[in-house]
């Protein structure tokens, strides 16, 4: 099985597709990743992405009722999103994209002059309505509920996979369609 494309530089990357993913990527997330396998895996995927991933972690340390805490977390997340960024809010009620569709979205954003693609990951009680309202896209990683540390890892992997798809690298292998039994 071929290894991943190089973490930086242009070696092993093909023509104009490579440039298509060089949009600043920011993940703004509630909570801090502590040392451990999730943090290491996130760092491994983030380091493979040509433009890298900036991670902005926010916390609300005060004990507040859930609704008030979600609002404060939302304010802190939005404060980390650069003006003009294309914001993707991760929410299980959002639109599920295939890996190929995410790659096409990244390519389209770059071709249309986007300078920053930001992702917002909420806390245990989800994202504030203000974040969902500001989002250009509300996206789901599927209907299951995932720990927030794993969401970061899964998102970083999918961003790396999208880059590999656009570069024509064999890292991505789509599953063949399921055959129905008669």
Q: Which two tokens stand for residue 116?
A: 């920053």
**Distance separating the N- and C-terminal Cα atoms of the chain:** 34
Query: Which position has the token pair 């770059």?
Result: 110
Nearest one of 156, 146, 158, 149 to 35, comparing CA atoms:
149
pLDDT of amino acid 115: 86
Is residue 56's pLDDT more than 60? Answer: yes
Distance CA 124, CA 100 (A): 29
Sign of CA dihedral 76, 71, 52, 37: positive
* Domain 16-167 in this protein, CATH class: alpha beta
Lowest-confidence pick of 52-61, 134-143, 150-159: 52-61
What's the alpha-carbon Rg for the chain, to the nearest Å? 17
pTM: 0.82
Q: What is the pLDDT of residues 149-162, one digit of tens each?
A: 899 999 999 999 99
Rounded to whole angstroms, what are the CA distances from 83 to 69, 101, 113? 24, 25, 14
Q: What is the pLDDT of residues 5-32, one digit of tens each?
A: 333 333 333 344 444 456 789 999 999 9
Nearest one of 13, 30, 35, 31 to 22, comparing CA atoms:
13
Residue range 110-123: average pLDDT? 92
Helix boundaries (H) for the chain = 15-20, 37-48, 66-80, 99-111, 129-134, 148-167
Query: Which position has the token pair 């249309």?
Result: 112
């Amino acid at each position: 099985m071929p290894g991943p494309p190089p973490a930086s530089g242009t070696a092993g990357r093909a023509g104009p597709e490579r440039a298509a993913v060089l949009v600043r990527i920011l993940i703004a997330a509630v909570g801090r990743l502590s040392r451990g396998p999730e943090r290491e895996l996130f760092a491994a995927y983030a380091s493979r992405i040509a433009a890298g991933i900036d991670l902005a972690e926010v916390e609300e340390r005060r004990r507040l009722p859930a609704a008030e805490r979600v609002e404060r977390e939302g304010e802190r997340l939005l404060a980390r999103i650069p003006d003009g960024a294309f914001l993707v809010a991760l929410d299980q009620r959002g639109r599920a994209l295939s890996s190929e569709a995410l790659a096409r979205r990244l390519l389209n954003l770059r071709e249309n002059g986007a300078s920053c693609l930001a992702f917002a990951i909420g806390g245990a009680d989800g994202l504030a309505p203000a974040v969902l309202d500001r989002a250009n896209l509300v996206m789901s990683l599927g209907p299951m509920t995932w720990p927030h540390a794993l969401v970061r890892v899964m998102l970083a992997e999918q961003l790396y996979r999208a880059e590999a798809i656009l570069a024509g690298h064999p890292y991505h292998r789509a599953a063949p369609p399921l055959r129905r039994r008669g």
